[in-house]
């Protein structure tokens, strides 16, 4: 199932057209996929910017066209002896911090209006744009050598910025160790501030809808924006804000805040950003209020 398949099914279950997700999951990857409904679809960029955490597995000894198990094997090199934990950790250290990645050919990145995987399926190669990403942490969870297959299986956990290709990171780790490699499994543990234990399966959603309990699992917009300082608007400010009016730093009075959430009747109405001596609209939400 693709992320779009998930959205399509949820659109039917929830009977809504305005729905989106905040960060594609490849079909063979499991884990957290935050879903935005209605006005919350405006928050997708903010959710995506919050970074992600994954747990995955790298198999060292062969490589594929897709950098995961869905592709065809293009290179094979037996691992004659176990790779030590120390060597793996040292290689991980070299891939921590700001690194440059080149997206795999089997990815959704667009080049000249066409997605890379479309070129790949036509056996065409194009110059791929480099991107700088941040690997906040890269940890070894388990390290196992298979003497029969002459392969090393490395379990890892990684915290990274948006736009990071974990497949590419896993393959880079194998190369640092001197071998071809492939990402053999991946689970997204955290995305957009949501963790795995907060998630529902599609079956769970269907059951909640049928039981009339689905609203128990829908988070308010303020939850997503909980790390931003909030300003509760008075009536005069609300009249200005709903028409896109600016606020002065003096009336906001939130010290060094660069971005703030404006709240009226307990609903997030806008995200404002500091510019000089004023706060100006960054994202208008204008959720429904009582009265």
pLDDT at site 291: 42
What is the per-residue pLDDT across 97-139, written as a single tens digit (0 to 9) for each? 999 998 777 777 788 888 878 888 888 878 888 899 999 999 9
Q: Which residue has the higher pLDDT, 267 or 80?
A: 80
**Average pLDDT over every residue of 9-20:** 94
pLDDT at site 288: 63
What is the overall mean pLDDT for the chain? 92
Q: Where are the domains of the chain?
A: 1-50+194-219, 51-191, 221-284
Say if CB 213 and CB 55 are below 8 A apart: no
Residue 289's pLDDT band (boundaries 50, 70, 90)? low
Give the closest residue to 91 by CA, choosing from 139, 33, 53: 139
Q: From the candidates 5, 26, 197, 204, give the one annotated as an active-site residue.
A: 26
Q: Is 26 known to be catalytic?
A: yes
**Average pLDDT over every residue of 209-215:** 95
Write the class of the CATH domain 221-284. Answer: mainly beta
Give the closest residue to 29 by CA, choosing from 63, 60, 61, 66: 66
pLDDT at 170 over 70: yes
DSSP 8-class letter at 42: G
3-state helix, strand, coil in the chain (%, to 5): 30, 35, 40
Instruction: Give the pairing of strands 278-284 and 259-264.
Output: unpaired
pLDDT at site 111: 81
- The set of long-range contacts for 141-150, using a CB threshold of 8 Å and a minimum separation of 24, is 141/55, 143/83, 143/84, 143/85, 143/88, 145/79, 145/81, 145/82, 145/83, 149/61, 150/61, 150/78, 150/79, 150/80
pLDDT at site 81: 97
pLDDT at 241 over 70: yes
d(CA 267, CA 19): 19
pLDDT at site 51: 84
Identical topology for domains 51-191 and 221-284: no
Say if CB 91 and CB 177 are below 8 A apart: yes
The distance of Cα 74 from the centroid of its chain, to the nearest Å, equals 29
DSSP 8-class letter at 22: S
pLDDT at 2 over 90: no
Query: Quick one: fold of 51-191?
Result: Pseudouridine synthase (3.30.2350)
The distance of Cα 55 from the centroid of its chain, to the nearest Å, equals 13
Residue 147's pLDDT band (boundaries 50, 70, 90)? very high
Residue 236's pLDDT band (boundaries 50, 70, 90)? very high
Write the class of the CATH domain 1-50+194-219. Answer: alpha beta
What is the per-residue pLDDT across 76-102, written as a single tens digit (0 to 9) for each? 999 999 999 999 999 999 999 999 998
As a whole-number percent, the residues of the chain with pLDDT over 70 amount to 99
Q: Which of 19-23, 171-175, 244-248 has the highest mean pLDDT?
A: 171-175
Please state the pTM of the whole predicted model. 0.87
């Amino acid at each position: 199932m693709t992320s779009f398949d998930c959205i399509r099914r949820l659109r039917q279950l929830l009977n809504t057209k305005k729905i989106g997700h905040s960060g594609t999951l490849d079909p063979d990857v499991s884990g957290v996929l935050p879903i935005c409904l209605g006005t919350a679809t405006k928050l997708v960029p903010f959710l995506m910017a919050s970074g992600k955490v994954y747990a995955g597995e790298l198999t060292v000894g062969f490589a594929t066209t897709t950098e995961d198990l869905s592709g065809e094997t293009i290179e094979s090199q037996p691992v004659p002896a176990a790779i030590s934990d120390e060597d793996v950790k040292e290689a991980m250290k070299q891939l921590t911090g700001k690194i440059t990645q080149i997206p795999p050919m089997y990815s959704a990145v667009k080049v000249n209006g066409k997605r890379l995987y479309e070129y790949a399926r036509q056996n065409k190669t194009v110059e791929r744009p480099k991107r700088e990403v941040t690997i906040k942490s890269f940890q070894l969870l388990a390290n196992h050598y298979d003497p029969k297959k002459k392969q090393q299986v490395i379990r890892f956990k990684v915290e990274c910025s948006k736009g990071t290709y974990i497949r590419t990171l896993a393959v880079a780790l194998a190369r640092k160790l001197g071998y071809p490699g492939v990402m053999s499994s991946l689970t997204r543990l955290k995305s957009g501030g949501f963790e795995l234990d907060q998630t529902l399966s599609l079956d769970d959603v269907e059951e909640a809808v049928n039981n009339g309990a689905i609203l128990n699992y829908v988070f308010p917009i303020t939850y997503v924006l909980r790390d931003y300082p909030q300003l509760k608007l008075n009536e005069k400010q609300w009249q200005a804000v709903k028409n896109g009016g600016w606020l002065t730093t003096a009336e906001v009075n939130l010290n060094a805040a660069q971005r703030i959430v404006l709240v009226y009747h307990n609903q997030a109405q806008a995200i404002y950003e500091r510019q000089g001596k004023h706060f100006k609209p960054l994202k208008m939400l204008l959720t429904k209020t009582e009265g």
